[in-house]
Structure 1
Amino acid sequence: MTLLAVQGLNVSIRAVQILHEVTLEVAAGEVVAITGESGSGKSMTALAVMGLLPDRSMATGRVVLDGADLLALSEAQMCSIRGRDIGMVFQEPMTALNPVQTIGAQVAETIRIHEGIGKAQAWTRARDMLARVGLPEARFPLTRYPHELSGGQRQRVVIAMAIALRPKLLIADEPTTALDVTTQAHILDLLRDLASEFGMGLLMITHDLAVVAQMADRIVVMQKGRVAETGPTAQLFAAMKHPYTRALFAASAHRVNLPPAPAPVPLLQVRGVTRTYRQPRRSLFGPRAVVDAVADVSFTLHKGERLGLVGESGCGKSTLTRAILGLEDVQAGEITLNGAPVWSANRSNLAVRRQMQVVFQDPYGSFNPRHRVSRLITEPFHLLPHPPQGEVRDAAIARALTDVGLSPDDAHKYIHEFSGGQRQRIAIARALINDPDLIVFDEAVSALDVSVRAQVLDLLADLCRKRPLSYLFISHDLHVVHSVTDRVMVMQAGRIVEQGVTEEVFGNPQHAYTKTLLAAAPRLPEIGGISHVT
């Protein structure tokens, strides 16, 4: 029985048409995935179903939920439907949650607004719902705030809010993009179980075809605001008719061709590094527990080598990275770059920090939107005792932009004038501008859709041929790490539990934790006898 029927949906904003004759259906208990590149219309379709389109937008066609045309309803009527009949899980849980309200209050609020029951009863139901999504009160008190939870735990709170009233339809918009593979697996299992248990229709929006293959009963492939192809998951993957669908699959399975690494010459050496933190007291005069965020970590990154670092959220990757970059001191051990310590005389060694650069996950958030690209990518020059000026500076800007596949004329533009993939190229140009010895890529492609991600990874391989590039690549995406690294390290609870040649570690893992990570990673279906880990 059809629960949601979107029929000939058109959406325009200020006379610019965004969606064109979109048609899809979701049955009760069915999982339907909408996939496609950024800008394909996935999220706009979901917002149209929710009645949350931007100002000055116009929607025509029909969006029928359980017999009622949502496009014909008033805002007051839609307010009574949102939360009760339709729940939504957003991509970034921290922005979807109120930072000054406890998790119990936020789940209870949804129940009280729609059912008008008392506070005590609402809190009891909130407690039960949080326990249902894996946050029992014994371990996660309702008085906790969002910042006290991990990313996966916050996503569970958002799911609890969305299903608190057991809606008929649940929309999940990129619910696992920023999560590590094991947390992602738990969230996907939870969503699938809830859809089955409550008989909800689940409309899932994602650019990850491996997740789609694992989760969806049917797939809707969107391109430029139109439905390019749709059908049952197994049938669609077995016979992809539209060239765009085939292109998405090829990008998802993409592997880059790295040049061979040169002879091993030590560049970054980490020896016995330990970084501890003291926890808050549980009582007024009680002891303060000590947590080892990084415990006795040792490794060497050689010149021209591409080294990967993987592990779950909270395993110590970020703490180790901050120590390598000289942003935090360590309690034990030593970190050197070209033999010079990154921390000396109780302070960060600026001369060493000049030789390292970082590419962050969110390129837009790491740039000042008021400055032009020419100033943004020359920020590393401020660390130099004698930064280049005039024609030398202009030549360095032109070379950096050209190397990342952009034009020297782009130096005069602002960051908002570029797409997400172009912004990440500009972030890489900034990292390259002063020819650093080491670049740290911190989840640098996790926010990009599959086709843009493939382009950026090809760019890295091309840069490795043009420059003597050495980098530490940190990511929760095992397929990407497999593709762009020579060696890989697996981190668990602050320790490196396995490291070695990437092909060997991924092909024949020795540690139980590495096997768990690889087992949790979703896989693309076998096409032509080949399967791919992503």
Structure 2
Amino acid sequence: MSLLRIDDLSLSIHGFDILKGVNLIIEPGEIVAVTGESGSGKSMTALAVMQLLPDGARTSGSIRLDGQEILTLPETRMCALRGAAVGMVFQEPMTALNPVKTIGDQVMETILIHKAMPPDQAEDRAREVLTRVGLPPDRFPLSRYPHELSGGQRQRVVIAMAIALRPKLLIADEPTTALDVTTQAQILDLLKGLVDEYGMGMLMITHDLAVVADMADHITVMRHGEVVEAAPTPQLLAGMKHPYTKMLFAASEHQVTLPEPLGQEPLLAVANVVRDYPLPRTRLFARPGQHRAVDHVSFTLHRGERLGLVGESGCGKSTLTRAILGLEPVQDGHILLDGQPVYTGNRPNLAVRRRMQVVFQDPYGSFNPRHRVDRLVTEPFFLLEKPPTGTERRDRIAEMLTAVGLSPDDAGKYIHEFSGGQRQRIAIARALITRPQLILFDEAVSALDVSVRAQILDLLAELCAAYDLTYLFISHDLSVVRTITDRVMVMQAGRIVEQGETEQVFSDPQHPYTEALIAAAPRLPRRRPMVAR
């Protein structure tokens, strides 16, 4: 008997078809990956298994968990199954955790709700599962709160909550999307180890084939609510049959060709920059300690050059970015853009700041949803002493929207009318509209599907040729940095530990930390054609 069996599952919400005849089987101890772009139906399939569907949802077909039909179970019976027989790990750990409850209370909550054991034993179980996921109580007391942990540590707490009662089935919905490569590798190894140790089945949802290539036993590819291809992992990777699967594979390894960089004229000069933050006092009258987020960082970015910055979460990338933008003062060193300081007299130099723009990670959260696109992309005009008006303003909007592959008619629309990739194109148009000397891309493609990411990277290459872009590209995705930059810097604990030409650093890393980052990055195996027997 299969652990989970989905037969001809169809789902509609208020008459709109979401899933169409989905079939999927998971055996005990097996990892099945469901992959596809946003909107393909991956997460809705998982939510159907958990019966966490919105109002207006109508389902048909069959979902059997350990032989028991789920679709017809009343809510009281489903509540008994959730957390006990089926556990779920959500994509964003900070929103999945309660910020006002300790991690110990949150892990114990599942145990106590199901009355699986008394409170003292529940606390022992919480310690046990937190230790199993790499958070031993001697280093991570149960009294800690989510905000006191890193992103990877918070994800481990969410996993501990999901496995507290040793469920038969674990559902992991994009559990590593927002994590850096080394933390992602640790979480994937942890999930695989839990499956091997507990014999549970796992449904792994992801948009990236490279993430599950070495992990999943079976891969199911979905598109527009339908399964377009499904096979054991080695068979699927060696002999993809559906064009959509081949497209996902190609997008995961997408390469772009950048134009040759211009001359060696310095544009951005960062010299011995130090940024410290005060730590809480350990005693009432004790002097507060200092945390050094950026430790004597120096580099030069030349005009027309594309520079990458990589490193794990907490290494100081974002702090350095804020300092370059003049959003934070530095305790030592200086930052010059075209020979002028970005911070003068303890105040940001607005004359310099208006010559820089930034593209953020979240293409939806970086826009005001109440404003139309024409207002959004012209926000940088407020920095100008004489912003364009009338026909000149409309022409500039049309030019930028056309440059990023959109239509001038899109200027009258709201941001919710666009897909994630289109929103990021609008963010790039906003960054370009004042023709800045420098653009900072802060994890600008990490939230996108692999196919949309490939389109944005192609767009950047085209814009480099058309506008001679100079940019600093900050990312934890090494494959993206490798294809979209001329030089790369590797940052660890606030220091630049290695820098050089991108291909040289990736091909022949000199620092052990760089080697560890490259080794941790997921990659697809080279396809070998299946040999007929």
8 Å CA contact 2:103, 2:143 repeated in 1: yes
The Cα offsets for residues 470-500 of structure 1, whole Å up to 9 and x where unpaired, read as 1000000000000100000000000000000
8 A contact 2:310–2:488 mirrored in 1: yes
Aligned 1:62-77 pairs, distance under 5 A? 62-77=62-77
Q: Who is 2:226 aligned against?
A: 226
Name the structure 1 match of 2:277. 277
CA distance in 2, matches of 1:147, 1:28: 35
4+ residue segments displaced more than 3 Å: none
The code of the aligned residue for 2:450 comes to V
Structure 1: which amino acid aligns with 2:326? G
Q: Determine the C-alpha separation between the residues in 1 that align with 2:518 and 2:100.
A: 37
Aligned to 1:443: 443
Partner of 2:377: 377
| Contact 2:2-2:67 at 8 Å conserved across structures | no
1:289 counterpart residue number: 289
What is aligned with 1:87? 87
Partner-residue secondary structure (3-state), 2:22: strand
SS at match of 1:525: coil
Task: Please state how far the C-alpha of 1:289 moved relative to its aligned partner.
Answer: 2.1
Cα distance, 1:116 vs structure 2 = 5.2
Tell me whether 123-132 or 466-475 shows the greater mean CA deviation.
123-132
**Partners of 2:204 and 2:59 in 1: how far apart?**
21
Equivalence for 1:469: 469
1:303 counterpart residue number: 303
After TM superposition, the score normalised by the length of structure 1 is 0.98
1:305-384 alignment runs, 5 A limit:
305-384=305-384
What is the CA RMSD across the aligned residues, in angstroms?
Answer: 1.0
- Tell me the CA shift for residue 263 of structure 1: 1.1
Note the alpha carbon deviations across 1:111-163, whole angstroms, 9 max, x for none. 10012533332222111111110111111111111111110000000000000
- Determine the structure 2 residue equivalent to 1:514: 514
Q: Which amino acid aligns with 2:16?
A: V
Q: Match of 1:155?
A: 155
Give the drift of 1:281.
Answer: 1.7
Equivalent residue, structure 1, for 2:237: 237
Contact 2:218–2:231 (8 Å) recurs in 1? yes
Aligned-partner Cα distance in 1 for 2:278–2:127: 30
Give a deviation string over 1:64-110, Cα, whole Å, max 9, x none: 00010110101111111000000000000011011111111111111
Equivalent in the alignment of 1:419? 419
**Does residue 254 in structure 1 map to residue 254 in structure 2?**
yes
Q: 1:287 Cα deviation (Å)?
A: 4.0
Is the 8 Å Cα contact of residues 421 and 452 (structure 2) preserved in structure 1? Answer: yes
Counterpart-to-counterpart distance in 1, 2:500 and 2:55 = 53
* More deviation, 519-528/452-461: 519-528
Q: Deviations over 1:442-474 (max 9, x none)?
A: 000001011000000000000001102010000
**Matched residue SS, 2:9:** strand
Residues 371-418 of structure 1: CA distance to partner in whole angstroms, max 9, x if unpaired?
000001111011111111111111111111000000001000000000
Amino acid at match of 1:190: L
Distance 1:286 1:140 in 2: 24
1:63 aligns to what SS in structure 2?
A: strand
Looking at structure 1, the residues matched to 458 and 187 of structure 2 have their Cα atoms a distance apart, in angstroms, of 31
What secondary structure is seen at the aligned counterpart in 2 of 1:352?
helix
Q: CA deviation at 1:168?
A: 0.4
1:82 corresponds to which letter in structure 2? R
Letter in 1 for 2:34: I
Structure 2: state its 5+ residue gaps.
Answer: none
Structure 2 contact 238–528 (Cα < 8 Å) conserved = no
**Between Structure 1 and Structure 2, how many residues are aligned?**
529
Secondary structure at the aligned position of 1:526 is classed as coil
In structure 1, the residue matched to 2:387 is 387
* Counterpart residue type for residue 22 of structure 2: V
> Do structure 1's residue 17 and structure 2's residue 17 form an aligned pair?
yes
Residue number in structure 2 paired with 1:35: 35
* SS of residue in 2 equivalent to 1:47: helix
Alignment correspondent of 2:119:
119
What is residue 181 of structure 1 aligned with on the other side? 181
Q: What residue identity is the alignment partner of 1:299?
A: F
The residue type equivalent to 2:131 in the other structure is: A
C-alpha separation between the residues in 2 aligned to 1:64 and 1:286? 61
* One-letter amino acid matched to 2:391: E
What is the alpha-carbon distance in structure 1 between the residues aligned to residue 528 and residue 274 of structure 2?
47
Q: CA–CA distance in 2 between the matches of 1:257 and 1:54? A: 44
Q: Which runs of 5+ in 1 are unaligned?
A: 530-534
Aligned to 1:532: none
Looking at structure 1, the residues matched to 282 and 134 of structure 2 have their Cα atoms a distance apart, in angstroms, of: 24
Separation in 2 of the partners of 1:141 and 1:431?
44
Letter of the aligned partner of 2:185 in structure 1? A
**Alignment-mate amino acid for residue 259 of structure 1:** P
**For the Cα contact (< 8 Å) 2:130–2:160, is it kept in 1?**
yes
Q: Deviation of residue 528 (structure 1)? A: 5.5
Report SS of the residue matched to 1:409: helix
CA distance in 2, matches of 1:468, 1:211: 34
What residue number does 2:265 align with?
Answer: 265
